[in-house]
Structures are given as C-alpha cells and as structure tokens.
Amino acid sequence: MPAVSDTIRRIIERGLFERLPMTFATYTFDRIRDWGMLFPAEQSYFERLLGLLDRSEPALVSRLFTPLSELEQRMGLDPGKWNTRQFTLGHVDFLQRSPHYAEWRRRIAGIFEKIDPLLEQEIAHRGRPRLVIVTAPSEVPVAPAQMWKRIEKAGKRIGLEAPAEPELLSGLGAGLLERYSAWLIEAGAVFPPLGQNAIRLSYEVLEPYRTALMDAVRKMLDAKQIRGPQQLGAELKSLKTPPPAGPVGQDPLIADFLRSVLLAGNGTLLINNTFVEWATIQAVRRARPTVAVVSFGVRNKVKPFSSLLIYTDQETSSPIPTQTDTLGTYVDLEVFYQYIWQEFEKYAEYRSNTVYVFAGIGMDEMLVIAPPDFSLMAGNNRQTLPRVGAALKEWIGA
C-alpha cells in the first residue's frame, strides 16, 4: 500500500481498482503511488475522481467502463502478465503498438468526457478569483497593434498612460499564504518577488543547474547505448543529479517538478521561452496556481548544426558569437500566448473567474481577457499603472 491519504487508502481497501479496466486502473494507481510528490491540487483531484467512482452505483461505473474493458480484451491484454500497480515502459509500448491504440485513446477520452463535468461542478462551487499575467520583453520589434493577434478577439485592448513595467506586479501574491498558489515563471530575472510563499522559476537564475543537468545527460548518452526514446526516458528518470541551489532545491516537490520540466520538455534546456511555456503548462496542469506571472524573454539565434547537439550548451560549444533573434521571438510568442491561455481555460478552476493580462514591457497597451465584472473591462479610458495594479489586487483580494 503506497503512503496515500486516508481517503485514498480506504478506497483502495474497498477494492475500487480491481473493479476498473486494467489500463485505467494501472495508470491511475501509478500516478498516486508517490503521493508525497503530488501537488495539493493533484491530490485533491485524485481524491475527488476516485471518491466519485467509489461512491457511485456499481452498475453505473460498470456501464461507464464497459467499452474500455471490451477493447482491452480485443487488444489481447493478458491479465496474468499485466502489472496492475506500475505503469511501465512495457505498458506504453504495448498500447502504442496496438492497432487499437487510437480507439483506446478515444474510449479513455469518452470516459473523462462523462466524469469531468461531475468533478468540475465541485470545483465551480468553491471557485475563487484567479489572475494570470503574461509579459513580452521590451525588445520585441512590433507595435502593440501587432501583439496577441491569435487571441485578441477573446479580450479587450486597454491603453496605458505609461508603458508597462515589471514593478506593476509588486506584491501581487503577498496575500496568498497557501504554498504553490502563486507562481512566477520567467526567462530572465527582472520581476520583483510575488510574495513570501510564491514559487519562482527563472531560466536565467537556473543556468548553473541547467548546465549541470545537460552535462549529466551528455555523459550518460556517451556511456550508454541508448536504443530509442523509451530507453532514453527511463534512463533520464533514473539519472542522479544534485538539486538546484537556493529555494527551488530546498523544496523536493519543486525540485522534482523542475527536473521533470527540463528533462521531459524537449527544448526547455535550450530555449528560454520554451522553458517558460512548458513550465507554465505543467504548473497549470499540476498545481493550479491562483496567481501566475509568466514572463517571456528574447530568444537567442540558434547556431549552425546545433539541432544535432540537443544536450550541449550551444553558447559554449560554438565559437560563433551569440545573437538575439527578436523577430523570431515575436513569432514564437504569438503562438505561446494562445497555448498558455487555452491551457488555463481547460480547467474549471479558471473558467469564468480569471483575469488574464497580456502586457509588453515598455508598451502602452495591454490585452485583457476577463469576466465582465473585472473593473478595467468597463469604459475605454487609458489607465494608469497604479490603477491597473490596484484593480488586479482587488480582483484576487490581495
């Protein structure tokens, strides 16, 4: 029995997992096995999910899962050989090689289409205002009218009397006492602290850790014959590296989160804005922050042939001088604004009660996507920065 909460332990003891299709049960059990390394929002989710299945009429649960159980039989899943307590690379391999894989995904999605609305009702009942701020660096070479084009129809452009600056965000997370409720994820290191309990992940500040991690991965690749992505994934998971220095490394949950972001996120070791985007996506999925400040920077130009050196620091491996790519950064970020906004909106915690502010440092206009009762949504006047700051604090009750 893993060290789970009392609620989950009782559900396991009542035999819920034995009543569920094997692929679903195994994956879910694997997710909760390391209970202490889950964020409170994840723990809450699994308690709600498993609690719902446990207390629901068995016939209803059976009807919900029958299509998946039938498909598992067609896939040739052998109960005698299937490890039901750990979702292994062998499981992944079995599923992905099955001609029924696409159908299996559809049936899993179908199950959650029915479950999610029920779980979301509980979330909506105890919703609270949330705030997401996404900033672009001052070097982006376009006027505000060319910013946020993919999402502008969802919000309102609000003029500023003075250009936006990082100090706008001072103290936004000060009143949030819950751990993991305020996150600052940035490419550089230009923003003031959000608050005492806020999580801060800076690509720039993490440079020594990133370099050490890349070095460790490269040595591992040199020493071992890696035969494919699955073996690479397993090796990366077991790779021993010291945690990062500072507050990030002192919290095992955040240190593990960071390591996962850097090792499983492809370009996160190499490109500052990819790190910012993927860390944000993962923070939303796992921690559901109440306040999130997401700050992009300028990406460097990629040096010749660097795509062949995935785990090598191209700044040191190539003698060609480093140059910034401001136009490329602009193109990259236009996509990322959309991805970040839609990721938050996937979750009931954020829908209808979140203010999104998209600002460019040094720009005198910002895009705000917000419920109609957010004070800045009324009128068309230009706003002062103190007025904007006060409206944001008022929204989250800081």
Pairing of strands 365-369, 291-295: unpaired
DSSP per position, 22-66: HHHHHHHHHHHHTGGGS-HHHHHHHHHHHHHHHHS-HHHHHHHHH
Q: Which of residues 98-127 bind other proteins (CB under 8 A)?
A: 101-102, 105
Residue 332 interacts with other proteins (CB under 8 A): yes or no: yes
* 234: its two tokens: 């397993």
Q: Which is nearer to other proteins, 84 or 306 (CB)?
A: 306
* Closest separation in Å from C-beta 273 to other proteins: 7
Is residue 331 involved in binding other proteins (CB under 8 A)?
yes
Nearer residue to other proteins within complex by CB, 209 or 275? 275
- Of residues 274-303, those binding other proteins (CB under 8 A): 274, 277-278, 281, 299, 302
* Cα gap 185→202, rounded to integer Å: 6
Minimum distance of other proteins from residue 185's CB (angstroms): 14
For helices 89-97 and 22-33, the axis angle rounded to 10 degrees is 150
CB neighbours of residue 302 within 10 Å: 15
Does 226 contact other proteins by CB under 8 A? Answer: no
Q: Which residues contact 281 (CB under 8 A, 6 or more apart)?
A: 339, 340, 343
Tell me which of 176, 187, 270, 291 binds other proteins, using CB under 8 A.
Answer: 270
Tally the residues of the chain. 398
The answer to whether residue 196 forms part of the interface with other proteins (CB under 8 A) is: no
**CA–CA separation, 381 vs 220, rounded Å?**
58
Number of residues that bind other proteins (CB under 8 A): 33
> Taking each helix axis from N to C terminus, what angle separates 40-55 and 22-33, rounded to the nearest 10 degrees?
140
Q: Which of 75, 67, 51, 58 is nearest to 110 (CA)?
A: 67
Minimum Å gap between C-beta 335 and other proteins is 4
Among 66, 83, 250, 307, binds other proteins (CB under 8 A): 307
CB of 123 to other proteins, least distance (A): 18
Instruction: Tell me how far, at minimum, the Cβ of 113 lies from other proteins, in Å.
Output: 12
198 within 8 A of 182, measured Cβ to Cβ:
yes
Measured from the CB atom, the residue of 278 and 356 that comes closer to other proteins is 278
State which residue, 73 or 96, has the beta carbon closest to other proteins. Answer: 96
Contacts with other proteins by CB under 8 A lie at 96, 101-102, 105, 265-268, 270-271, 273-274, 277-278, 281, 299, 302, 304-305, 307-308, 325, 327-329, 331-332, 334-335, 338-339, 342, 346
